[in-house]
Amino acid sequence: MAEFLTVALTFPTLPYSIVLAFAMVYWLLAACGVVDDGIGGDGVDLELGDDGLHGLSGMFARLGLGGAPVMLVIALLAFFGWTATYFVHLFLLQPLPAPMRWLAGSATAVLALVPAVPVTAWLLRPIRRLLLRLRPVPQRSLLGRVGVVASPQVTGEAGHATVDDGGAGLILQVRVRDGVPLPRGERIVLLDYLPESNHYLVAREHGHPALSFQDSLIPGDKEIHR
């Protein structure tokens, strides 16, 4: 155990040990829901600007490592790099004098990524397919659809309407946008959705014909219908 810690916590294995420990802490926090794990998204689970992890994600894509959360790719690269560096350090570098060990260790730390990249890319192939299945299916946008007022009236403060979605139908919370109440049975058009208050802004159909994009797919359109 002492020899293991000595090798793992000294150069050239130490940098990989630090990255691997950071990745393990990150995934523990992700498992607890403290940070976003990036699964089901676009493969980037952290955002530090165009020169941060976005650029790192692009580099990974060119190496065949795209399509998975960046932290997952980093964790796998760190694991395989650590494994290669650890055994080279254990069996070949320890007997060397300090100056030569640092020189050879630097080369080992860099060259360890050469086999780590294709092995990680190979391992990510089934993971990508699994992540694609876990991604939420884009929901059909309701904006532009025609509904019928079901409450006694729809005002700027209250009201609900029914909308035919091709199935059992939806009952949606709606509010008028221009402040003019609409009576029961009035045909309305859904103009906008306000997620913070979970209702749609509507207007009389006569003045707002159904919009042409009513059948479009808008990824992430996750309205909550009550």
Helical spans, DSSP H, in the chain: 2-8, 13-31, 53-62, 70-88, 98-111, 113-134
User: 101-140: buried (b, 16+ CB within 10 Å) or exposed (e) per residue?
Assistant: beebbeebbeebbeebbebbbeebeebeeebeeeeeeeee
Cis peptide before 126 (omega within 30 of 0): no
pLDDT of residue 141: 74
Pairing of strands 153-154, 146-149: unpaired
Below-50 pLDDT ranges, the chain: 41-53, 137, 139, 212-226
Residues 6+ apart with CB under 8 A from 224: 195, 198
Interval 66-98: pLDDT, tens: 878 888 899 999 999 999 999 999 999 988 888
pTM: 0.57
Interval 35-58: pLDDT, tens: 765 665 444 444 333 444 456 667
Q: Which of 35, 49, 41, 47 is nearest to 69 (CA)?
A: 41
Residue 95 CA to residue 74 CA, distance in Å, equals: 30
DSSP 140: B
What percentage of the chain carries pLDDT values higher than 70? Answer: 78
